[in-house]
């Protein structure tokens, strides 16, 4: 699963002027731009799709995780080339290969992305959807922490409190699952690292992802060909499985299209709130659809995570910006 990076530029909608000046002492009426509602709907659709995608990945149950990840890289690149060609932005991605610094940044990002995709698909296909959801709940808190440690960013006390509560929630997972939630920690860590690296890039979401999958594609394609040559490929096993493996590219690119559309016309604060739709969808699917275990101690852990989410959302309100 490809969730957004913190490097994506978010445009705050401009406020339209009034045709008539407000009366003295009255509050001016803010008229939102006509694209803001559509933008919020597009962003909501993106996060809803990311939240529902565990159902898709479950259809590939039985296909090795490494093979699924390799096909996802190859077919995602194919989809992104089509999207960039249609939008006239293909030259931007190609230009990155002539800029050593940009290429180096995206090579590091590609390594973080490959790690994230491997862990995510592993979680979806090994009945650990709840742990995957935990990882993406933690992601924004890790962004805050990394931003403070490595970028010198300042954060409100409420945001720092949300990090502390989230950490306690993660610690409570240890006895709840009788171990360490490595997949959750790995997902949050790899995606936060991905976002941190991408802050150094000037490429947009699609161009950047196209460069990263281009870097990974030769190895992924070689692995797929090796499986085919040795008769171990699931791609040619039957038409349905082959079609689903091709569809991994569509499953990757489609939510990103909606996200890119929404991020252009809604505020960063609203985007920060909407992002929790995805792990909530994953949580509900893992619990209700696939009946993953949720004993009281694990539920208490998620309750602390949801408390941290609430604190984070409150911290986005204007009077908590300092």
CA dihedral (188, 191, 192, 195) in degrees, to 10, reads -160
- CB of 3 within 8 A of CB of 47? no
User: Tokens 């992601």 — which residue?
Assistant: 139
Please report which confidence band the pLDDT of residue 27 belongs to, taking 50, 70 and 90 as the band edges.
very low
Structure tokens at 229: 């040559």
Q: What integer pLDDT is reported at residue 141 of this predicted model?
A: 84
* Weakest mean pLDDT among 135-149, 239-253, 275-289: 135-149
**Is this structure's pTM higher than 0.85?**
no
315 close to 158: Cβ distance less than 8 angstroms: yes
Q: What is the mean pLDDT of residues 305-318?
A: 86
* pLDDT tops 70 at residue 52: yes
How far apart are alpha carbons 139 and 124 in whole angstroms? 17
Residue 192 in contact with residue 146, Cβ under 8 Å?
yes
Q: Which of these, 272, 292, 273, lies nearest to 282 by C-alpha position?
A: 292
CA–CA separation, 177 and 206 (whole Å): 37
Going from N- to C-terminal start, the domains of the chain cover 34-320
Identify the pLDDT of residue 114: 95
| Cβ atoms of 89 and 184 closer than 8 Å | no
What burial class does residue 307 get, using C-beta atoms within 10 Å of its C-beta: 0-12 exposed, 13-18 middle, 19+ buried? middle
Report which secondary-structure segment, H or E, holds 22: none
Residue 256 has pLDDT above 80, yes or no: yes
The radius of gyration of the chain from alpha carbons, rounded to an integer in Å, stands at: 21
pLDDT in tens, 199-223: 888 888 889 999 999 999 999 999 9
Is 7 or 153 the better-scoring residue by pLDDT?
153
Q: Position of tokens 């249609």?
A: 86
Please tell me which residue, 30 or 141, carries the higher pLDDT value: 141
- What is the DSSP annotation of 119-149? HHHHHHHTT-HHHHHHHHHHHHHHHHHHHHH
User: Alpha-carbon distance 105 to 190, whole Å?
Assistant: 15
> What residues are paired with 16 via a beta bridge?
31
Question: Read out DSSP for 201-268?
Answer: --S-HHHHHHHHHHHHHHHHHHHHHHHHHTT--STTT-HHHHHHHHHHHHHHHHHHHHHHHHHTTS-H
């Amino acid at each position: 699963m490809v969730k957004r990076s913190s490097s994506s530029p978010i445009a705050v909608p401009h406020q339209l002027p009034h045709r008539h000046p407000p009366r003295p002492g009255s509050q001016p009426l803010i008229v939102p731009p006509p694209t803001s509602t559509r933008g919020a709907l597009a962003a909501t659709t993106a996060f809803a799709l990311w939240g529902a995608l565990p159902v898709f990945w479950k259809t590939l149950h039985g296909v090795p995780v490494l093979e699924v990840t390799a096909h996802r890289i190859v077919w995602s690149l194919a989809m992104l080339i089509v999207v960039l060609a249609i939008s006239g932005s293909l030259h931007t991605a190609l230009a990155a290969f002539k800029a050593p610094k940009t290429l180096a940044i995206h090579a590091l990002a590609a390594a973080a992305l490959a790690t994230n995709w491997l862990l995510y698909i592993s979680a979806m296909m090994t009945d650990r959807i709840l742990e995957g959801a935990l990882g993406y709940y933690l992601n924004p808190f890790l962004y805050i922490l990394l931003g403070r440690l490595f970028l010198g960013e300042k954060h409100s006390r409420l945001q720092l409190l949300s990090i502390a509560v989230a950490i306690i929630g993660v610690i409570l997972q240890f006895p709840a699952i009788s171990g360490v939630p490595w997949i959750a920690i790995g997902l949050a860590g790899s995606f936060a690292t991905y976002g941190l690296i991408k802050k150094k890039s000037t490429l947009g979401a699609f161009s950047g992802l196209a460069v990263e999958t281009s870097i990974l594609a030769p190895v992924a394609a070689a692995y797929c060909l090796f499986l085919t040559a040795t008769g171990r490929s699931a791609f040619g096993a039957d038409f349905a499985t082959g079609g689903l493996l091709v569809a991994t590219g569509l499953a990757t690119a489609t939510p990103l299209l909606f996200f890119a559309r929404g991020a252009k016309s809604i505020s960063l604060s609203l985007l920060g709130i909407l992002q929790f739709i995805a792990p909530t969808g994953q949580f509900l699917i893992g619990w209700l659809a696939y009946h993953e275990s949720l004993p009281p101690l694990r539920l208490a852990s998620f309750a602390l995570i949801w408390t941290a989410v609430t604190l984070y959302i409150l911290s986005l309100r204007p009077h908590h910006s300092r």
